[in-house]
Structure 1
Amino acid sequence: MKNSTRVFLSEIKKAIIRHSLIVDGDIIGVGISGGKDSIALLYSLCDIIRSAPVRFKFIAILIDLGWLSDLSPIVDFCQQKNIQLHIEPSDIAKIVFEIREEKQPCSLCAKMRRGALHNTAKMLGCNKVALGHHLDDVIETFFLNLIYTGQMKTFLPAIYLDRSDITLIRPMIYVTEDDVVNLVGRENLPVVSSNCPVDGKTKREEIKSTVALLASHYPDFRSRFLTALKRPENPLWTDSVNNNFIL
C-alpha cells in the first residue's frame, strides 16, 4: 500500500480511537452518494475492518434520489470488495423540485435524505450510520453557523439521535478534502457525477471558497482550526478514547 494511503488511513483510525466511533458488535450503515467523500470512507472501512481488534460489520446504503444517475460504478466497486450494498429508491428529487418547487431546495432535500438514510439503516439492523464528512466540511459548517445563525458550533464526531435511535459517526474528520481527492485519484476509486441542478450553487460553496482563500494565505489554517476545536478550555469536541481499538 502506498505510504500516503497509509497516512490517510492512520488519520481515520486516530479519529475512531479518540472519539470511540466504532466498538465491538457495531453494525454500521455507511451513507454513500456516489461522490468522492463517501467512496473514500467506504474504501477506508474496507481496509480497517481487516485488522480491527473489535468485531463490527458495515453495509453501504445509497438513497437513490431519483436523478436517473448511472450507479453501476458503485455497484461494481461493492461487488469487487465484497461489500453488502443496499440501494433504497425514493422520490426525493421529484418532491423537492417538481411537487414542492422549492426555491431553496437544499435544506428540504438534506432533511429528507437524512430521514431516508436513518430509516433504511434501522430497517437493515444498523445501530450506527457513518458519514463521509471531512475536516473542510467541519470548518465550513462552523462558518455557516457563525455567519447565518450567530452560533459558534459545528457537527460532532459522533452524536446519538434519540428520535431515530441511531448514532451518527464521522470517521474522516481529521482528513482534508485535498486528502480525499488525492486518495480517490491514487486508488482509482469510482465517482458518480451529481445530476442535482443546484450542485455547486449553494451557500456552502461560497464558504468553501473563503476557506480555500484562508488556507492559501495561512497554510496551517486547517490544522490549527482542528486544534482549536479540541482545546480543553473551550471544547466543541471531546475525546472519548477507545482503548480496544489500536492503530
Structure 2
Amino acid sequence: MQISHLPQLTSPLARGTSNTFLRLKKKLERSVGEAIGDYNMIGDGDTVLVCVSGGKDSYTLLSCLLALRERAPVDFRIVAMNLDQKQPGFPDHILPAYFESIGVEYRIITEDTYSIVKDKIPAGKTTCSLCSRLRRGIIYRAATEIGASRIALGHHRDDMLETLFLNMFFGGKIKAMPPKLVSDDGKHVVIRPLAYCTEADITRFACTMAFPIIPCNLCGSQENAQRKLIKGMLQNWARDFPGRIESLATALKNVVPSHLADPRLFDFVSLTQQTVVEEGDTAFDPLELPQPSARTVQFLSSANNDR
C-alpha cells in the first residue's frame, strides 16, 4: 500500500523555516499551552500517553507537546502510542520509524479488533461504535501498564463544535467534547490539548511538516454522514459569516444554566423573587449583536432577493 503524505506546499510556508511557518508553529503551541493552563491538563510528574493514529491531528498534538515540554515550568513524561488493529494493509512500519526518528518514547499495541468488529457487525452496517469501544478499552489498559496519569487525544476545536451540533440535531442534548474528563474506567484523565486549535491551522502545519500520513480508510468504513453534514455547515458559516465559528467556540465556555431549561442544572422549581440568577431577566432585552460585515450584508440581501 502506498502511504500518502499531505500535499507539499510551494509557497514560502513549505520551506519550514520561513517566518510564516514559525508564526503558525508558535500559534499552535501557544494555543495548546493556553488550553493546558486553562484546564490544568498536565502537572508536574505526570506521564502523558499520547494516542497517535497516523493522522494530521495526532501528529500535530505530539509535536506541540514535545515542543512545550522543553520549556514548560513542570516536568512530565511523554509516551506516544499507536494501536495496530490489524486492519488489512495497515503499514505497521510507518509509526515506529517516525517515533524512532524524533526520539520519543513509544509503545505499539497490536490487537486484532478488526476481525472482532467484522464478525460482530453485519455487512453494510457502521462499525465505528464497536470499534471505538474496543479501542478505548485497549488504550485504558495501556495507560495503566505504563503508569500514565493522562491520556491525550487529538481532537481539535472543530471536532468539539461538530460534536455539539451532532448532539443537538440528532441526540437532543447540548453536549460537546470536553477539553478534560475522567476516563470511563475512572482510573485516568483524558485531555484534549488541541481544544483551542483550528483544523485549518493543523492542516497547514501538517503539510509543512510532511508527516507520514496513514490513510484513515483502511477499514473500508465511510465517513459518518451526519458528521460530514455538520462539518459542511460549519465550513459554510466560516466562509459566509466571519467570526461566527469563533463566537460558537467562545459560547462553549460561557454557559448560563439559569437561561436554559434543565432543572438538573438550575433549581427552577424552588425559584422565588429572592433567588439570585446570573444576568437576571435580560433575556427579554434585545440582543446586542456586533454589526455585520459588508460581505454578510451582501449575502443576506442576495438570499432575501432570491426568495
Q: Same fold (TM over 0.5)?
A: yes
2 CA distance for matches of 1:182 and 1:74?
21
2:101 pairs with one of 80, 90, 101: 80
2:80 pairs with one of 60, 67, 82: 60
1 CA distance for matches of 2:153 and 2:224?
22
CA contact (8 A) 2:140 2:185 kept: no
Compute the displacement of 1:110 (Å).
1.1
- Give the aligned partner of residue 175 of structure 2: 153
| Higher RCO (CA < 8 A, seq sep 6+) | 1
2 CA distance for matches of 1:155 and 1:201?
17
| Correspondence 1:211 to 2:258 | no
- Give the aligned partner of residue 221 of structure 2: 198
- Give the aligned partner of residue 225 of structure 1: 248
CA contact (8 A) 1:30 1:131 kept: yes
Compute the displacement of 1:204 (Å).
1.7
Compute the displacement of 1:74 (Å).
2.0
- Give the aligned partner of residue 142 of structure 2: 120
Distance 1:232 1:88, change over 3 A: same
- Give the aligned partner of residue 101 of structure 1: 122
Compute the displacement of 1:132 (Å).
0.3
CA contact (8 A) 2:155 2:192 kept: yes
What is the SS of the residue equivalent to 1:159? strand
CA contact (8 A) 1:119 1:164 kept: no
| Correspondence 1:22 to 2:42 | yes
- Give the aligned partner of residue 284 of structure 2: none
- Give the aligned partner of residue 280 of structure 2: none
What is the SS of the residue equivalent to 2:164? helix
What is the SS of the residue equivalent to 1:86? strand
- Give the aligned partner of residue 60 of structure 2: 40
Report Cα offsets for 1:76-132 as digits up to 9, x if no partner: 221121111211111211111234336121111111111111111111111110000
Letter matched to residue 21 of structure 1:
M
How many residues get paired?
235
Compute the displacement of 1:233 (Å).
3.0
1 CA distance for matches of 2:62 and 2:221?
26
- Give the aligned partner of residue 298 of structure 2: none
- Give the aligned partner of residue 189 of structure 1: 211
Letter matched to residue 186 of structure 1:
T
Q: Which structure has the larger Rg? A: 2
Consecutive aligned runs of 4 or more in structure 1 exceeding 6 Å deviation = none
Aligned residues with identical type, % of pairs: 30
Note the residue ranges of structure 1 that are not aligned, 5 or more in a row.
Answer: 236-247
| Correspondence 1:175 to 2:197 | yes
2:90 pairs with one of 63, 69, 82: 69
Letter matched to residue 101 of structure 1:
P
TM-score, reference length from structure 1: 0.89
Letter matched to residue 87 of structure 1:
I
Compute the displacement of 1:200 (Å).
2.4
Distance 1:92 1:206, change over 3 A: farther
Compute the displacement of 1:31 (Å).
0.9
What is the SS of the residue equivalent to 2:203? helix
TM-score, reference length from structure 2: 0.73
| Correspondence 1:140 to 2:162 | yes
CA contact (8 A) 1:30 1:58 kept: yes
